[in-house]
Amino acid sequence: MDSNKLREQDFLLASISQLSISGSASPPVVARFRPDSLLFAYESDSDDAVQFDLSNCQLYKLGPAQSLCMSEASNTSEEKSYSRGITIEFRNEEESRAFHCAFEKWKKEVVIEGSCLPNEMASSSASKFDDKIEESSAKMYFHYYGQLLHQQNMMQDYVRTGSYYAAVLENRTDFTNRVVVDVGAGSGILSLFAAQAGAKHVYAVEASDMADYARKLISGNPSLSERITVIKGKVEEVELPEKADILISEPMGTLLINERMLESYIIARDRFLVPKGKMFPTIGRIHMAPFSDEYLYIEIANKALFWQQQNYYGVNLTPLHGTAFQGYFSQPVVDAFDPRLLVAPAISHVIDFTSAKEEDLYEFDIPLKFVSSTGTRVHGLACWFDVLFGGSTVQRWLTTAPGAPVTHWYQLRCVLAQPIYVMPGQEIMGRLHMVAHKAQSYTLNLTLSAKMWGPGAEQGGILQTSYGKLDLKEPYYRMSQPQAYPMSQDQQPIQLLQTQDLQIESHDEEGSDLLQQSV
């Protein structure tokens, strides 16, 4: 017999209340773990005990010192149901954490090896998130979003917040009497919007310490708080008592994909959303176009001049100049730029959140093909994104395009260390290859080539090629407002396509029908 096998363990609780008895809290209770069950017994009356089978019950964290224990009903239907549940009040947060750790250990003893936990839930010891994201990056990420000042920065982006508010309230029919899951709820503002639109219940899932602030904010809005439950934890790990009719989230990072939260959004879809349920946002598009910006190029190149000093306090710095020069060009530039800097119409890459697989987001290989509208030096590739809220009543777009009202995402530009020269009508070919890494971001590999033009162009061939490798995790936040650049007399301004037009060339065959919809 295994000497390490768990036998029995007791916890003293403040109280418990059964879900069927509203507001009926018990006197102090002892929770007792046994080899195959979890027993809640009143100190004053051991006969009136509540017992759960550890093999088919789940424990959900509702607050720092409050949890929910649910027992699955024994039926053969595919739709999961629960026969009963109790809310547990702990005396303090420390005892709550200890109880949850004990529950994990005892349940692990009971669950048969190789079987799956409900809703394909992974135990905390084998979290899918932890497997693909390095611990130091996750710690910094959740610390950042656990601070109110960063939540305020996003909430004060009125293009962002106003677009979400309009998308939700204009599509009340999608939310009224529906169960909603807010993925990465942050301050809980989107959960409150969903409740305003008439949601039956909203589960606000947030892994950072912002969950505690969200509870405080939501409780300060009593007309809505009764229909919102904040659950602290990762969507890859938490368990919910029911399926969702609609998911709402703000998973977009710089270039849409930075921070890799889109993967969590897809995982939440697979775990919690009912078949044919709605997702807000519904699709996302990354737009790309070559640009010319001599001022930006000189600004970046000049940063490395420091390393050209041959007598810096008697030290020759020039051996590191080449490395420094390439290093500065490995940083994508995040700022707002004048759309007249674009030298060709944009193309787009579509991600349909309702059908994309998580693995699809690990790597993107996007072929690039443009026709230059002017003769100039091409300094790199400009990128921005937009997302569609595919409501039943209103189809609303949120765009970060140059020339549109500026958002906290701005736009992103990949600047090449070696510009290429093009003439009007000349074809620009290339590839944008983006590979996810464990620091919650992507390595960008950009190649641009200018094809032969004029007489004999039909014979093909490449005149010049430039390549750059950039780390989306380490951008250069320039944050300047768009500047007015004088145009030469023969230069024609590029007509930026508005999201309302939706006539944007896409390299994705799937989802192209979505682009024909209008706002």
* Active centre residues (catalytic): 250, 259
Of 270, 60, 253, 236, the C-alpha closest to 141 is 253
Q: How far apart are CA 26 and CA 406, in angstroms?
A: 54
Contacts of 24 (CB under 8 A, 6+ apart): 17, 18
Q: How big is the chain, counted in residues? A: 519
| 244-249 and 15-18 strand pairing | unpaired
45 by Cβ neighbours in 10 Å (0-12 / 13-18 / 19+) ranks as: exposed
Tokens describing residue 384: 């921005």
Q: Sheet holding 82-89: strands in order across?
A: 15-18, 82-89, 66-72, 57-63
Going from the C-alpha of 478 to that of each of 250, 278, 302, the distances in angstroms are: 24, 37, 15
| Complete DSSP assignment for 290-309 | EE--HHHHHHHHHHGGGGG-
Which residues, 6 or more positions from 185, have their beta carbon under 8 angstroms from its beta carbon? Answer: 191, 204, 205, 206, 210, 211, 214, 230
Q: Residue 398 CB: number of other CB atoms within 10 A?
A: 24
Nearest to 197 by CA among 220, 237, 167: 167
Residue with tokens 């962002």: 160
- Supply 210's token pair: 């912002």
The secondary structure of 37-69 as a DSSP string is EEEEEESS-TTS-EEEETTSEEEEEEETTEEEE
Residues 6+ apart with CB under 8 A from 222: none
Closest CA to 188 of 172, 210, 156, 207: 210
Report which secondary-structure segment, H or E, holds 352: strand 347-352
- Judge whether 230 and 192 are in contact, CB under 8 Å: no
* Strands 179-183 vs 244-249: parallel, antiparallel or unpaired: parallel
Q: Is 490 exposed, middle or buried (0-12, 13-18, 19+ CB in 10 A)?
A: exposed
Mutual angle of helices 158-169 and 189-196, in 10-degree steps: 30
Nearest-5° angle of CA 354, CA 356, CA 359?
Answer: 145
